[in-house]
Structure 1
Amino acid sequence: MLLHIPDVLSTEELGTLRNRLDAADWTDGRETVGRQGAQVKRNEQLADTSPLKAELGALVLAALQRNPLFFAAALPARILPPRFNRYQGGGSYGFHVDGAVMANGVHGHLRSDISCTLFLSAPEDYEGGELVISDTYGEHEVKLPAGDLIVYPSSSLHQVNPVTRGARQAAFFWVQSMVRDDAQRRLLWEMDTSIERLRQSQADASAVLQLSGVYHNLLRRWSEV
């Protein structure tokens, strides 16, 4: 499921992130990928050992915790601490698929079910830099307002187009979902959003309660915790 989640960060949080990242020490982004990824990756990242990465990552995680749309779509069991990257001067990341299992200092390892990119630069501040996600319906170019999040299956082939002007900064991270299967997550998401619309429209309360029960029984059947 490809989903745009707007306004994950407040204006104040976004300003804090941008100011801190503008003054950060960046390293070669190829340090965090394997041999195959290093052949097509040309960007900069905050080092995994950077105290700034941990500080800003905690800010992003706190924003996600209060976002019901993110929780309903991702059904997160574990979230890999966010990383931060910058593309400029033609920097790009060619087509690749994210690793299936990633080292996580907190939990040992994490299965990457969902990939997430949180845009931190305004679209008008740079040219290029579109996130291109390829699925059975074709290629989708994503370039969102600063503070907005895109989530998509980690099994998707994707790339970042070259940035030909300005700089593109973003946070990115992976989620191990309580529901491993993307099709099942989509069904639960569609049911959850339908239930919420029914509630807001003052639909028959007993019918909404029954449908909510179906949702939770499916989640109980499909989830791994």
Structure 2
Amino acid sequence: MLMLAPGYTMPAAAVAEGEAAVAGAEEGEGEPAVDLEGELPGGDASQAPVVVQVRQGRNRYRVRVRRGLATVTFGELSDYLAEQMLPPGIPSSELRLIARGKTASREDPLCPEGSSKDMSVMLMFREGFFVAAEGAKWLQEKSTELGEAEVKLVRLTKRVEANFSNAETSVQLAELEGLLESLVQSVDSVRVNATKLPQMRELRDRSANALERVLALHKTARF
């Protein structure tokens, strides 16, 4: 991940090189380029807009601004991109906007001098974003897997309570125990962004509860 030290001005050639280096990772190989247009809310409709072109590899997001670049912050631009233009689930806090060779803060105006000329901004993601994205994918997959395990556990519980358990029941309970132990142990080591933390805690609690039920069945079942 390309990083900038606070206050460091990146040469134009390095910016272009860095953009090319992250393009494949941030877009995905072979995916078609995105070209979208939109307008930031607010401002005088009769006033000619200034276009802020946001570049992310081959992707282009053109945002029209009618309020004046001196009155709009990079935070507002990030929020608009996350809500209206980028794929769902990407929080604006994960966006890094680079303008004039420097990483902009959310509080910075797009252009302090209030220029009426169109401007260009480079979009990247903060360090750890893709790790968190992989964590979100893991969470989705394991939530589905846990749901299937819970259904299976209900069936096994009915068999044990009806005294229909056998060697195969023991094998299936052992498989569930291994799966649930793995989930409980893995939750704390998988990184997700803050919006996914409640789902992560729910996965952990459900897994721990199901594991307790499996262990209890092992004690009462007759094989």
Kindly indicate which of the two structures has a greater share of residues assigned to helix.
2
Kindly indicate which of the two structures has a greater share of residues assigned to strand.
1
TM range (shorter): under 0.3
| Greater Cα radius of gyration, structure 1 or 2 | 2
Normalising to structure 2: TM-score of the pair? 0.27
